Amino acid sequence: MLSTIQKYTLEPIYKPLDKILKNFVETDQLDDWQGRVDEFMPSRILEVDFPLIHCVASTDKKSNGLIKYYSEQPFVVLNIIEELMWLGISNLYGGFDSKHTLPYIIQIVKYLEEENIDLPNEGILTIFPVSEDRGWGKRIDIDSLLIAYGYIV
């Protein structure tokens, strides 16, 4: 996601969206995360008849900001955001190595390849064994990790 934003020199990720994406690796309350992420999906936010007044995670100001942010993004960014969210949701029920999550990973990789965007450094993933915490892995501070690997300054 950060590579895509850097390639297109887009504005930083909309803060409430950034928070919900990072929250997946920072919280152990993933059932709550799913309830919030549902209301941030580009496909739902950009639908004309989507009832924004029913967004649990959004106030009118946030909803308008999210609509504005999504409306200004290239199609590939919206696709990656959508796939990341579905990847997280499917991970809740099937596990990261299940047949339920693989299609989303494959699709994200395809989007990145189509746009000639480098894949993230896999070294980031290898230092966090998922065998910890009964297979869930330890919660991490994603900003510290991204800074350490030079993705954000």
**Between 114 and 21, whose confidence is greater?**
114
Q: State the pLDDT at residue 118.
A: 82
Range of the domain at 105: 2-148
* CA 109 to chain centroid: 14
Count the neighbouring beta carbons within 10 Å of the beta carbon of residue 91.
20
Q: How far apart are CA 112 and CA 107, in angstroms?
A: 9
Q: Would you say 46 and 71 are in contact if contact means Cβ atoms under 8 Å apart? A: yes
Residue 61 lies in a domain: yes
Residue 73 lies in a domain: yes
Residue 97 lies in a domain: yes
Residue 70 lies in a domain: yes
Q: Helix 75-94 crosses helix 30-37 at what angle (to 10 degrees)?
A: 150
pTM (predicted TM-score): 0.72
Residue 47 lies in a domain: yes
pLDDT for 75-118, tens place per residue?
888 888 889 888 888 877 665 566 777 888 889 899 989 989 88
Pseudo-torsion of CA 147, 104, 22, 7, nearest 10°? Answer: 40
User: What do you get for the CA distance between the two ends of the chain, in Å?
Assistant: 15
Residue 153 lies in a domain: no
Give the total number of structural domains in the chain.
1
Computed over every residue of the chain, the mean pLDDT equals: 73
Residue appearing with tokens 């919030």? 36
Residue 119 lies in a domain: yes
